[in-house]
């Protein structure tokens, strides 16, 4: 499909003639061939003697690299040092890599074969390995360079030596040790069934990978994935054609008109990153002319300067002489001009409209048709993507190449059927198989869990092979190794759709884990089953495309990876380890897989448990209001509020950017209830009251844009149906009911709100919420549970800007509607989580000059500034330890018992805490539990040092038989080692509870 048209158009250009580019082939043209002649078998290695040579003529960087790879891996297999010769000796068989002259002499012309195709052929006693190579491009350094001879080498190593490339590095590469090696005569021609093969598998640990493996990402692509050599960009071309730079000032009418009458020219609504590239007006004939001229100049390989391109280069989605992308910018803004708006006006995500698709495709097809009529070679590319993914009622010209976007292998049921129907309709329209853009993204679906689903992915592209000519699979992941088998199988299936998946996977388990293959197969199949059946199956379509609703954290850790299930998997590894005790290589692979794919799951389970325990400790008392405490205006009196303990909101980053944890302003919340109402009182510190941003808004207006407070309640405690009430500092209210994947803005809370602002100090709000307004979607009343999940949020917006992402009561919230990460409202003080330590949140009595805070005590006066009222986790204060405060004691005599199990938890934060002790491990900061017997328990095992955001810690211990005497007290000691530490540590929220005996 490839070089014919490229080289053809090149010659035509040279000769000054312009003709239509050669036909772009969606289907393979080169015939696949494999003939082995055992009659002509040659012995190439025996008794440690190498009886062949590797030859590569110098001058071609790509084939030289290929020859070196061959020498390296074959050398490992034969335990011999192999070098690459620049010419044949003629005395023994030669493996000739990339010898174009020889190839042409035998009727093999790589330039006439399919892209990425190659030949391995015995010629006399020699074997030629060759594909099309970009002569001056190093395969590791240049994307979109052709490395056909390299693909030939890798295939040769796999077929005839038994090498396997599962993932980068020695552990993921199988190189068998050969005692002897013979080959039959070979006549092989191989090419991919699917020309379009790309993946985007960037991971959070990419830097670590690169450090470990060098340029692993590219090398892995080559060795393991053998992805398409070409660049054929199809997405967001209009974002990358420098329209903003070239036309913002001169031709504002090229850009989409906004609802405010402005132009979307890269200056509007920059919260959405893609908006900086602007959005276009699809009624602008002037822009259409410019785009035509751009495409024409690019496809004719004219200088970018002729089109006034900044930096004198074409945009990243333009490939001179080959393709020019006309796809609209991402998050496309529907232009409000008269011409566009009569088409777009009824557009409401997630629905897409036929006429919207017709309109946009007409615009781009006009350009393609004109290029065709002017005999401009090459192609324009378009992406069938929301909101214009429907097949348009527009003639698609032959020089337009189409990629279709939808969810892909993990979709099930109706969502799967919908995407296949879409794909079928595109096949019918084009009379060809488009290529796809699909998603198998781990990190946006479920953190901590590997998304290894090779069978599902392989089957999907096999099952629908008649409908596609390949895929760009987007597979971002937390850890690259989570998905290595997905990529391996994807590559094999795209190269050969008839690959026997079961055999391929069975071989992987056998080669990697030897005796332990059954256990590891069970492990990988367990990962796949949980991911596809229990985690991703619940997918719904939304305005931003398909969205998967993963299971709740509770379901994940109690039902899917339940303690019993994790114990079963631990046992698989234990059995596997036992079986491999005499096979160090396989054992090493097993341990690597355990550390890379299973350990993260165990860690995530543990972190969930610790966070869960922390969440369960978040308690907000909602006492009953005595009737006498209600004022004539129907709100609760200030005197009553004084008796209710508040909770404090914490600086919140939406789980995205861990940054400063300083509460610039404090926010306290109190709650109460009576038979008919729930009451909420907010006390918000705000020295900059004059700068508060808010607007008078209608009911259910966009209050979230204002300086606001938000209440999140799950009154039934079912962790499914939540209610959100937002109000701004003018008292305007927005409210909604939410369930997983669905918001119902029609719900009316009936809330009333009273706001008072104290200039330069802050503001107070009191909300009254009728209990009867809690109803389910069917209108059925929801009764208030005695104890139910809730959260509070403050958006601090000054001068139109969010000063901080916000303040949240629960620090465990990552997504505001995740009910299971909320704290608890309880109607009875007895529901308060137990704590043996009094005022563990440092809200106990303190007086400057004294040496105690509540029952925490030290040797000298505690400086007032060591009570930190800006950095805390509970109660609006924490204790900060630095050079002015090195320890605090809390005596436990009389409150703890001998021979009893306890759990101690607390919050700790470190800032550049250094151990400056000469004795290893004796500096930094730590805790001591002294039993009053001369014996101590030190926590944690290694002292705290470094920088760490607020982190909850939990320790379980058992007290000794004997714990204190008349003369010596039991004590909990917080220590920042005197003279042996530098830097700062904060402590907060100490809790000690007795546990039942084990």
Binding-site ranges for Zn ion (CB under 5 A)? 281, 283, 335, 337, 340
Whichever of 295 and 340 has its CB closer to Zn ion, that residue is 340
- Shortest spacing between CB 251 and Zn ion, in angstroms: 13
- Shortest spacing between CB 277 and Zn ion, in angstroms: 17
Of 357, 396, 394, give the one whose Cα is nearest residue 379. 396
- Shortest spacing between CB 335 and Zn ion, in angstroms: 3
Structure tokens at 184: 């039959």
Whichever of 40 and 342 has its CB closer to Zn ion, that residue is 342
SS3 669: strand
Whichever of 281 and 580 has its CB closer to Zn ion, that residue is 281
Whichever of 275 and 499 has its CB closer to Zn ion, that residue is 275
Cα(724)–Cα(741) distance, integer angstroms: 15
Whichever of 264 and 508 has its CB closer to Zn ion, that residue is 264
160, 74 Cβ separation under 8 angstroms? no
Going by the DSSP 8-state scheme, the letter that residue 479 receives in this structure is S
User: Which ranges of 538-637 would DSSP assign to H, the alpha helix?
Assistant: 553-555, 563-579, 584-593, 599-617
Cα(437)–Cα(972) distance, integer angstroms: 58
Cα(238)–Cα(330) distance, integer angstroms: 9
- Shortest spacing between CB 665 and Zn ion, in angstroms: 44
Whichever of 20 and 337 has its CB closer to Zn ion, that residue is 337
Whichever of 256 and 401 has its CB closer to Zn ion, that residue is 256
Whichever of 255 and 738 has its CB closer to Zn ion, that residue is 255
Q: Are strands 53-55 and 84-85 parallel, antiparallel or unpaired?
A: parallel
- Shortest spacing between CB 458 and Zn ion, in angstroms: 44
- Shortest spacing between CB 353 and Zn ion, in angstroms: 16
Residue 669 pairs in a beta bridge with 647, 682
Whichever of 199 and 283 has its CB closer to Zn ion, that residue is 283
Exposed, middle or buried: residue 698 (CB in 10 Å: 0-12, 13-18, 19+)?
exposed
Residues sharing a CB contact under 8 Å with residue 117, sequence separation 6 or more, in sequence order:
30, 110, 131, 132, 148, 189, 190, 191, 192
- Shortest spacing between CB 336 and Zn ion, in angstroms: 7
The length of the chain is 998
- Shortest spacing between CB 256 and Zn ion, in angstroms: 6
- Shortest spacing between CB 786 and Zn ion, in angstroms: 57
The dihedral region occupied by 800, where left means phi > 0, alpha psi between -120 and 50, and beta the remainder, is left
Q: How far is CA 839 from CA 835, 877, 879, in A?
A: 9, 11, 12
Whichever of 283 and 959 has its CB closer to Zn ion, that residue is 283
- Shortest spacing between CB 340 and Zn ion, in angstroms: 3
Element (H, E) at 125: none
- Shortest spacing between CB 358 and Zn ion, in angstroms: 15
Cα(492)–Cα(461) distance, integer angstroms: 11
| Whole-number CA gyration radius for the chain | 34
| CA angle 612–616–621, rounded 5-degree value | 160
Whichever of 209 and 335 has its CB closer to Zn ion, that residue is 335
- Shortest spacing between CB 280 and Zn ion, in angstroms: 8
Whichever of 333 and 437 has its CB closer to Zn ion, that residue is 333
Torsion of CA 297, 301, 303, 304, to 10 degrees: 60
- Shortest spacing between CB 257 and Zn ion, in angstroms: 6
Going by the DSSP 8-state scheme, the letter that residue 52 receives in this structure is -
Structure tokens at 738: 């939410």
Element (H, E) at 68: helix 61-78
Element (H, E) at 915: strand 901-915
Half-sphere exposure of 455 (CA within 13 A, CB side): 15
Cα(111)–Cα(5) distance, integer angstroms: 11
Q: How far is CA 498 from CA 457, 568, 653, 873, in A?
A: 14, 35, 48, 58
Cα(522)–Cα(526) distance, integer angstroms: 6
- Shortest spacing between CB 239 and Zn ion, in angstroms: 17
- Shortest spacing between CB 331 and Zn ion, in angstroms: 17
Whichever of 363 and 406 has its CB closer to Zn ion, that residue is 363
Exposed, middle or buried: residue 515 (CB in 10 Å: 0-12, 13-18, 19+)?
middle
696, 730 Cβ separation under 8 angstroms? yes
Whichever of 238 and 981 has its CB closer to Zn ion, that residue is 238
969, 903 Cβ separation under 8 angstroms? no
User: Which ranges of 444-497 would DSSP assign to H, the alpha helix?
Assistant: 454-463, 484-495
Whichever of 281 and 440 has its CB closer to Zn ion, that residue is 281
Cα(543)–Cα(379) distance, integer angstroms: 30
| CA angle 367–373–379, rounded 5-degree value | 55
Whichever of 340 and 649 has its CB closer to Zn ion, that residue is 340
Whichever of 258 and 552 has its CB closer to Zn ion, that residue is 258
Cα(376)–Cα(98) distance, integer angstroms: 34
- Shortest spacing between CB 461 and Zn ion, in angstroms: 39
- Shortest spacing between CB 342 and Zn ion, in angstroms: 10
């Amino acid at each position: 499909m490839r070089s014919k048209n490229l080289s053809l158009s090149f010659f035509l250009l040279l000769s000054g003639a312009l003709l239509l580019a050669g036909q772009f082939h969606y289907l393979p043209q080169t015939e696949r061939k494999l003939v082995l002649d055992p009659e002509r078998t040659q012995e190439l290695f025996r008794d440690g003697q190498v009886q062949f040579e590797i030859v590569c003529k110098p001058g071609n960087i790509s084939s030289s690299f290929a020859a070196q790879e061959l020498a390296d891996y074959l050398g490992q297999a034969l335990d011999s040092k192999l070098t690459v010769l620049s010419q044949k000796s003629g005395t023994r068989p030669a493996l000739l890599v990339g010898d174009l002259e020889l190839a042409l002499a035998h009727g093999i012309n790589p330039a006439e074969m399919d892209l990425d195709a190659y030949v391995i052929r015995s010629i006399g006693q020699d074997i030629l390995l060759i594909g099309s190579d970009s002569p001056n491009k190093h395969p590791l350094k240049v994307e979109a360079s052709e490395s056909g001879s390299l693909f030939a080498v890798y295939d040769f190593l796999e077929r005839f030596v038994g090498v396997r490339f599962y993932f980068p590095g020695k552990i993921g590469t199988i190189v068998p040790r050969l005692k002897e090696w013979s080959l039959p005569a070979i006549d092989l021609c191989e090419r991919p069934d699917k020309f379009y093969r790309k993946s985007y598998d960037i991971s959070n640990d990419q830097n670590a990978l690169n450090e470990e493996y060098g340029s692993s990402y590219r090398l892995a692509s080559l060795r393991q994935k053998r992805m398409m050599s070409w660049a054929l960009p199809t997405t967001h071309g209009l974002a990358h054609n420098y329209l903003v730079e070239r036309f913002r000032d001169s031709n504002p009418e090229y850009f989409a008109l906004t609802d405010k009458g402005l132009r979307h020219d890269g200056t509007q609504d920059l919260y959405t990153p893609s908006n900086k590239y602007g959005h276009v007006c699809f009624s602008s004939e002037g822009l259409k002319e410019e785009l035509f001229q751009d495409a024409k100049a690019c496809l004719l390989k004219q200088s970018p300067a002729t089109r006034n391109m900044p930096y004198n280069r074409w945009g990243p989605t333009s490939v001179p002489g080959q393709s020019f992308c006309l796809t609209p910018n991402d998050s496309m803004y529907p232009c409000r001009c008269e011409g566009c708006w009569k088409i777009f006006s009824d557009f409401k995500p997630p629905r897409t409209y036929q006429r919207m698709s017709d309109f946009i495709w007409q615009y781009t097809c006009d350009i393609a048709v004109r290029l065709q009529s002017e005999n401009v070679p090459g192609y324009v590319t378009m992406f069938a993507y929301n909101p214009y993914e429907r097949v348009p009622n527009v003639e698609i010209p032959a020089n337009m190449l189409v990629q279709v976007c939808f969810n892909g292998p993990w979709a099930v049921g109706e969502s799967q059927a919908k995407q296949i129907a879409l794909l079928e309709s595109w096949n019918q329209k084009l009379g060809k198989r488009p290529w796809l853009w699909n998603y198998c993204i781990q990190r946006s679906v479920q953190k901590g869990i590997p998304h290894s689903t090779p069978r599902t992915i392989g089957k999907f592209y096999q099952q629908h092979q008649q409908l596609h000519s390949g895929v760009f699979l987007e597979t971002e992941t937390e850890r690259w190794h989570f998905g290595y088998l997905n990529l391996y199988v994807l590559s094999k299936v795209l190269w050969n759709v008839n690959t026997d998946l079961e055999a391929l996977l069975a071989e992987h388990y056998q080669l990697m884990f030897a005796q332990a293959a059954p256990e590891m197969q069970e492990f990988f199949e367990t990962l796949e089953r949980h991911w596809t059946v229990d985690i991703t199956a619940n997918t719904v379509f939304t305005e931003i495309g398909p969205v998967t609703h993963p299971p709740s954290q509770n379901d994940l850790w109690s039902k899917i990876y339940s303690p019993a299930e994790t114990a079963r998997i631990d046992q698989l590894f234990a059995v596997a380890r036992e079986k491999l005790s005499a096979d160090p290589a396989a054992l090493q692979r097993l341990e690597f897989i355990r550390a890379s794919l299973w350990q993260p799951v165990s860690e995530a389970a543990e972190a969930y448990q610790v966070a869960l325990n922390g969440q369960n400790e978040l308690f907000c008392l909602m006492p009953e209001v005595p009737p006498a405490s209600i004022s004539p205006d129907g709100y609760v009196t200030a005197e009553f509020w004084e008796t209710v303990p508040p909770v404090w909101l914490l600086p919140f980053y939406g789980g995205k950017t861990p940054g400063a944890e300083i509460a610039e302003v404090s926010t306290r919340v109190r709650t109460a209830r009576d038979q008919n109402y729930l009451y909420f009182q907010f006390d918000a510190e705000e020295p900059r009251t004059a700068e508060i941003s808010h607007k008078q808004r209608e009911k259910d207006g966009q209050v979230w844009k204002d300086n606001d407070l938000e209440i999140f309640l799950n009154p039934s405690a079912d962790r499914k149906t939540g209610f959100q009430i937002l109000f701004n500092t003018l008292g305007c209210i927005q409210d909604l009911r939410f369930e997983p994947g669905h918001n119902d803005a029609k719900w009316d809370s009936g809330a009333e709100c009273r706001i008072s602002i104290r200039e330069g100090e802050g503001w107070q709000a009191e909300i009254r919420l009728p209990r009867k307004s809690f109803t389910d979607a069917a209108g059925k009343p929801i009764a208030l549970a005695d104890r139910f999940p809730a959260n509070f949020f403050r958006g601090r917006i000054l001068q139109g800007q969010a000063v901080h992402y916000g303040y949240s009561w629960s620090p465990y919230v990552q997504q505001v509607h995740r009910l299971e990460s909320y704290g608890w409202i309880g109607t009875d003080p007895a529901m308060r989580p137990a704590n043996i330590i009094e005022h563990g949140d440092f809200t106990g009595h303190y007086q400057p000059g004294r040496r105690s805070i509540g029952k925490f005590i030290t040797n000298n006066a505690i400086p007032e500034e060591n009570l930190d009222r800006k950095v805390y986790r509970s109660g609006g204060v924490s204790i900060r330890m630095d050079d002015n405060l090195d320890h605090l004691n809390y005596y436990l005599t009389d409150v703890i018992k001998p021979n009893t199990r306890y759990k101690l938890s607390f919050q700790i934060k470190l800032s550049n805490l250094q151990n400056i002790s000469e004795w290893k491990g004796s500096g930094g900061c730590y805790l001591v539990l002294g039993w009053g017997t001369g014996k101590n328990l030190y926590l944690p095992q290694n002292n705290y040092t470094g920088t760490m955001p607020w982190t909850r810690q939990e320790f379980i211990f058992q007290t000794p038989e004997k714990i204190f005497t008349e003369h010596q007290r039991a004590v909990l000691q917080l220590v920042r080692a005197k003279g042996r530490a530098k830097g700062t540590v904060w402590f907060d929220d100490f809790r000690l509870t007795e546990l039942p005996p084990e």
